[in-house]
Homo-oligomer: A and B are copies of this chain.
Amino acid sequence: MGSKYPPSVRGCLPLWALTLEAALILVFFFFTYYDTSLEDQKVLMAFYQVCQDLTVMAALGLGFLTSSLRRHSWSSVAFNLFMLALGVQWAILLDGFLSQFPPGKLVIKLSSIRLATMSAMSVLISAGAVLGKVNLVQFVVMVLVELTAFVTMRMVSRKVFSTEDHTNMMCIHVFAAYFGLTVAWCLPKPLPEGTEEKERTATSPSLSAMLGTLFLWMFWPSFNSALLRNPIERRNAVFNTYYALAVSAVTSISVSSLAHPRGKINMTYMHNAVLAGGVAVGASCHLISSPWLAMVLGLVAGLISVGGAKCLPVCFNRVLGIHDSCGVHYTFGLPGLLGEITYIVMMMHQAVWANAILYQVLLDAGLFSLAVATGLASGLLTGLLLSLKIWKGPHAAKYFDDQAFWEFPHLAVGF
């Protein structure tokens, strides 16, 4: 059965991945050491707790969120783990080398693992747009290019715009979504026939995607509060994320049934829109000081996300020719835009008191444009790179197919 699929990965994956891994080990050997300062055991545990929540979100949440493609669930989950494991190592090095001047040996702390896990999530988000259309070697390239672009963008925004870690990290949704969409635009489009059948959602994969959604939903307050230092800001972030998520869950389920002529709820829209509140509230979660604003954001984000998922694919698929495998645009892109705009408005509102409104608007809009521009530019670069023949990417007729990558003991009949 497997004979119709080209032995595409074999030639280069182990070679590339092991060489890269060996190179990373060498760099770690020469340039890094562990932090040896004596820290308080309790602080350590609290840090470790947050790291673990983020790892759960990245490995399990984002992995299973994209597992609803009928014949592609193995690849979704396993490739996600692969990219996370590789991305974290690469991001720690990048973060260290770019933030430290004069360059020297890097100190590895728990906080660097935390930051690296969050950065690596950008790749996992982008991957949702191209999943099923690229092989693992192409993902390795994407991890390297996207993380470099993302970490550089964050460093520039920290140095040039003097933003906090939290603020520049929260551009991740917009950056990753538009990066992924641009890559998807560059790749060959899936053929119409056959693909639809494979894209269809089955019940059991949908339950595992629901599991991913739930883990993201439950741990999102940890993500939004992870980089905040002030306890009050941190608590506000937890509260606001909690409220925004609750409202966007209610909204997305009810609006999803409005979008169907016979009032049926769409599972895929729901996977996307349930999380929209957490994305939208991300950038401004530490500034919002009463629950209603977070709730309004959650409501609007849920509406935008379901509305986008209902109306935009036609325009995106037909006019622009972008095929978004797992709805990254509606889950992260549009709510992320809403979040950035809210942040700019809130900073304007604060700046009114300080008579610096124009400066503040320019600063925030600049940061935001930088994120989008870097995302689009590096996405274009990656997309062009990935379209090269040398990676032996899957043929458009074999998209969304676990059989191209996995050894099945039997013919997989779909579940």
Residues of A within 8 A of B (CB): 2, 5, 7-11, 13-14, 16-18, 21-22, 24-26, 28-29, 32-36, 38-42, 44-46, 48-49, 52-53, 55-56, 59-60, 63-64, 67, 73-74, 77-78, 81-82, 84-86, 88-89, 108, 110, 113, 136, 200-208, 210-211, 214-215, 217-219, 221-222, 231-232, 234-236, 238-239, 242-243, 245-247, 249-251, 253-255, 257-258, 260-267, 270, 274, 289-292, 295-296, 299, 402, 405-407, 409-410, 412, 414-415
Contacts and interface: CB of A to CB of B under 8 A. Distances in A.
A32 B290 contact: yes
Contact of A204 (B36, B82, B88, B204): B204
Given A59-B217, A263-B10, A292 B25 contact: yes
B85 A207 contact: no
- Tallying the copies of this chain within the complex gives 3
Contacts of A85: 245-247, 249-250
Nearest to A45: B46
A231 B40 CA distance: 8
* Nearest 3 interchain pairs by C-beta: A10-B263, A17-B254, A85-B249
A292 B28 contact: yes
B42 A262 contact: no
Given A10-B257, A56-B218, A74-B206, A231 B407 contact: no
B406 A55 contact: no
Contact of A295 (B24, B231, B260): B24
